Chains A and B, each alone.
Chain A
Amino acid sequence: MFLRNTWYVAATSADVQDKPLGRTICGESMVFFRGDGGKVSALEDFCPHRGAPLSLGKVCNGKLVCGYHGLEMGCDGKTVAMPGQRVRGFPAIRSFAVVERYGFIWVWPGDVTLADEGTMPVFEFFDNPAWAYGGGLYHIKCNYQLMIDNLMDLTHETYVHASSIGQKEIDEVPCTTKVEGDHVITSRFMENISAPPFWQMALRGNHLADDVPVDRWQICHFTPPSHVMIEVGVAHAGKGGYHAPDHTKAYSVVVDFITPETETSILYFWGMARKFQPQNAELTASIREGQGKIFAEDLEILESQQRNLSKYPERNLLMLNIDAGGVQSRRVIARLLAQENSGITA
C-alpha cells in the first residue's frame, strides 16, 4: 500500500534530458520526457495504439514518438499525429502531475486533480550557496518501509558499516524518539568519542584535525510519504557539539528520498548536503564516493531481509527500543493511508 496523493522523487533532472525515461512509481508505469520548452511531462508508459511502452521511443520536436509505429504523443496524453492515420478519436492516456525542483523530478502518482505544488517539501540546503550536494540512485529490491526502518535506526551502522561510520558508541548511547504530527524525530548524541574513518575524512575536508576527540550527533527526521533527512556530523569535543560554530565541525544532512516502485522494490535517491567547504567540488566527489560505498552495504542486507519476509510473511518481527523511530514512522504512514483510502484529504 502506498500513499498516492503526494509527491515522490521520480528521477534527477539529469536523468531526463533528450530521451524519454521509463520508471515505475507506486506500481504505475510512467514515461518522463521533456516537451516544448524543456518542461517535463509524465504519462502512462503505454502507447494507445498497441500498448508498447512509449519510453522505448524518442523525443522529436517536443513530442514523444512511439518506437513501434511512430505514433506522436503530446505532453497532455493526447495523440498528436500518426503516420497515415487521423488521430482525433484516439483515447487519451493518463497524465501525471510533475514538478521539477531542487534538481529532481517530482511526480504525484495519485489523483491529478488533487495535485498541489504547495505541499511540496521545502529544503534549505538545495539551491543554497552555503551548502553543497552530491548523491546517487540505488534500485533496491525491498519494500520502502524496510528502507525507512533502516534509516530511522542507525545502530545498524556499527555492524553494516563497521569500517566507515560504525562505532561501538552508537550501541552504547540510547536514542530518543519523538513525534510531532507527521514528523518523527530520532536523535542520538555521543560525546568525546573518536571519529570513525568517514568522519575523519570529512574533518580533513573542513581543514580540521581528525585525530582529536569529537562529539557526534545523528538526528533522523522522517516526513511522509517516505523522506528521511538525517542531520549528522562531528565537532571537536567540547565546542558545543551539534550547536558548535561551523568552523569547528563537519555538519551534513543525509538526504534520503525513498520512492516505492513495487511492494518489493524502491528507487532510493540518496545524497549528502554539507554545510562546509561548499565550493570544493573535489570534496563533494569524495564524499559522494564514500557515501555510495557505505550505502551499497545496506543493499545486500535489505534485499536478503525482503526475501526472508516474502518467504515467511506470517512471521512477526520484534520491535525493540532501537526501532522506535521506524515504528512511529510506520504509524504515521498507516494513519495517512487510512485517511487517503477513506477519501478524506488532509
Chain B
Amino acid sequence: MSDNLNAGLDTPVGSDGVFTLALVKSGLRLTVGPDQTALQVLEAAGIDVPMSCGQGICGTCLTRVVGGVPDHRDMYLSGEEQDANDQFTPCCSRSQTAVLMLDL
C-alpha cells in the first residue's frame, strides 16, 4: 500500500462534500463530486459493483471499507454495523473523511 493511497484517510471531508475513493485492488483514485454517488463514479470507471435499489434499502451494493470513515446514509445496516465502519452502501452513503479506501 503506497503512502499516496493512504493520504487523506484522517482528514475530514470538505464542506463541498467532495471525497476520493481509493481502491486498493485496482490502485485507482476516483473523485466523487457533490452531485454524484460513489456508485455512479465506480460504474463510470468500469468497476463492477452489484446494485439494485439505489437507495440504501436492499444491501446489494454493500462494499468493504478498509480505510477512512463512511458517512452512512443507508437503512440496511444496523447501527452497530454502521459504527464498525468496515462496510458501506456506495449507492447512497458518502464519506466523513477526504478519502475512503475500498476493497475494490
Residues of A in contact with B (beta carbons under 8 Å apart): 85-86, 88-90
Contact = CB atoms under 8 A, between A and B. Distances in A.
B88 to A, nearest CB: 14
B82 to A, nearest CB: 12
A90 B55 CA distance: 10
Those 7 A-B pairs whose CB atoms lie nearest each other, nearest first: A89-B75, A89-B57, A88-B75, A86-B76, A89-B76, A86-B59, A89-B56
Nearest to B56: A89
Interface string B57-98: 111000000000000001110100000000000000000000
Given A85-B58, A89-B57, 6 more contacts: A85-B59, A89-B55, A89-B58, A89-B74, A89-B75, A90-B57
Contacts of B56: 89
A78 to B, nearest CB: 12
Interface of B: 55-59, 74-76, 78
Contacts of A85: 58-59
Nearest to A88: B75
16 contacts: A85-B58, A85-B59, A86-B58, A86-B59, A86-B76, A88-B75, A88-B76, A88-B78, A89-B55, A89-B56, A89-B57, A89-B58, A89-B74, A89-B75, A89-B76, A90-B57
B50 to A, nearest CB: 14
A237 B43 CA distance: 89
A85 B59 CA distance: 8
A90 B59 CA distance: 12
A236 to B, nearest CB: 72
Residue from A86, A88, A89, A90 whose CB has the most chain B CB atoms within 10 Å: A89
Nearest to A89: B75
A192 to B, nearest CB: 74
A89 B76 CA distance: 6
A89 B56 CA distance: 7
Contacts of B55: 89
B91 to A, nearest CB: 11
A21 B76 CA distance: 32
B56 to A, nearest CB: 6
A86 B82 CA distance: 15
B102 to A, nearest CB: 21
A88 B55 CA distance: 12
A90 B56 CA distance: 10
A90 B74 CA distance: 11
